[in-house]
Chains A and B, each alone.
Chain A
Amino acid sequence: MGAATPIRDLSARDLEPILAVARDLAASFDLDTMLGEVASAAKQVLKADRVSVWLHDAATDELVLGSSSDLGSVRIPASMGLVGSCARHRRLINVPDCYADERFDPSVDRRTGYRTRCMLSLPLIDHKDELVGVIQVLNPASGVFDEDDEALATVLAAQCAVALQRARMMDAVIEGERMRQELEIARSVQLGTLPTTMPAVPGYDVYGRFEPAGLTGGDTFDLQVFDQGLLVVLGDATGHGMGPALTAAQMQAMLRMAFRLGADLDTTFTQVNNLLADMLPADRFICAFIGLLDPGAHRIRFHSGGHGPILVFRAATGDCEVHRPTSFPVAAMPLPALRTAATLEFAPGDILVLISDGVTEYRDSQGEEYGHARIHEVLRQHHGKPMAELADLLLESVQAFAGGAPQEDDVTAVLIKRESPRPPAASSFARSLDSLEAIFGFVGSMFASSGVDASLRQPVEFAVEELFTNMVKYGKASEAEVCLTLVRIPGGVEATLIDHDTEPFDITQVPDADVDLPIEQREPGGLGIHLVRRMVDSLEYEYREELRQTRITFRKVVKGPSNSGGATGDGHAHD
């Protein structure tokens, strides 16, 4: 396509527009602007009446007149007419009388109302030898296009092809970036609806976790306490792009609103389904488990629109039950009538496991699915662990299985465990400092056997020692042993020290030590209770007159990441 032929009298007036178009095309990234510039440069250089620039749409093998983003634009198959012939053969075609040429397609003239007399068609080929389009120069002032015009047009066409291709690629990049930003926003809306802290449910250990995969995905979960019980949701909205993330967020919001307003499970499930069915396109739906746990009755009632498997680990047998969805996916169609909700009963130690398709469909590098059996194996080995830890172990097991294969879908897990009531560990100790070693041994073995977070051991030992030594020091009249009871509570431990045959002395009323005094005014002692208050989460004192018995109870639980500073820290010296 190079312009090897020397051009007769290339005047400064001819050259200037060519250089100008080279300059403008290099600086412009906008396709529409560029198309206009190409057309006006060609008109000026070739002294033509009109210029058409056709872009090749490789996806449909069509030629599109003007900007491809213009919906009203003229499209023709890339094999049709003179323009098609030029595109197909990638050769310049100079036709002095169009209506005498059988390849000429007069339909464009008919559509535009223009009369094409003489036409020069040039293929636009970029530097990778790809067809970008065709430029057609119509009706020159001189009557017909000569060889010099052809050479000039060829130079111009080569310039335009590269610039147009660049503009098209830039358009695609911008479009891609816009979509990415929209996805990011949708993603943050979706993430913003997830619970940030797990609710405290007496007798239960509940935990939910969401691991997003890339930017698309429509998983959600919810764990929220309402008057009706604990709402348990795990959902997966279908589709690609930003839709699923927003749909998941919408369902979440509707469910919370309905339950907050006091609606029951069946009404809520039906209404949310029907509203979403009206709203969403026919090919979009949400596989969702929606249940209400009554922690007092140890029963969960649920509807599962298309979400399965629903796994229940039975602690008594070590077996894993697999339950199926109760109905078709949420929003797939309006519900004419609803079956009564399914129920599951929790025996002590039982775990309800809801896991998004992302996990069971997770594939290793050979394409094998993770499946239920592996989940069951993790449950059998680790069902005694706290649910947050079990969730970690499940995900670790999935990742180990995948062996580095990328996570293709969101992974979400919701675990609901009815705690096994453990008999509290209790032991009595002689009122002597020599008992401390045995006391620490007792605390250590309770921690080891109950699975209470090991980071709590030091502060619990500290509080027990301080309270015990106080009883030894101030209860010299008593001969009775001090009884220490430790029991696991959600997220931590509760300790009770019982001292018999004592006088009342409410340690919770002891004022804090002044820790800001200069060293010369500070005396050893008086720090024990001050520090205990800062090390534990609650401290209660009770005196039973009729038994002459003092009971001191404290609780210590693991703090969330937001307040991981340890103890209360109020009245601290640096404040």
Chain B
Amino acid sequence: MRATLIATLSAAGFLILAGCQTTPEDQQAAAAGVEDRSKPGAGKPGAQAQPVERPKIAAVDVTSGRKDAASALKDPASILSKRNIYFEYDKFDVKEEYRPVVEAHAKYLRENPNARMLIQGSADERGSREYNVALGQRRSDNVKKVLMLLGAREAQVESVSLGEEKPACSEHNEECWAKNRRGEMLYSGEF
């Protein structure tokens, strides 16, 4: 039953994946890129230099494109720098407000097939340590499910739990506990 459900969700994920790979935005972005490169030559004199420079510029674009994607993970201005999903008490669903963050990371994983992600789920300090490991796992599993529905592959994502062992905040109050009920998305080299 559970296996069937996961299979269904995965299938849905692949459909979305297939859909996402040919999104109009992507096509527009690609078209815009081509257009940009041709603009200087088209709009200005000295267009004869263009055939020589063009392949070189294209190569630089590809490299800088990759660099941009990786550095976007750390760039505070990029949504990809956001890694934490916070959860309500005794709740495990990824709230609507975190949808854009998870979607951005799913897109990154789709576009970077070699990227690997570890999702560490956490619980607040109340109660049994081992039960809290299970609660943190339920949170990270749910983040993983959403990522996979959005096209990330199973081999790219591992969901684990830190239970209550690595609190982001160490006070014993609700404000702190809310910060500790989280799922944190980390890429290779970050954990």
Query: Is chain B a partner of chain A in the same complex?
Result: no
The chain A residues found within 8 Å of chain B, CB to CB, are: none
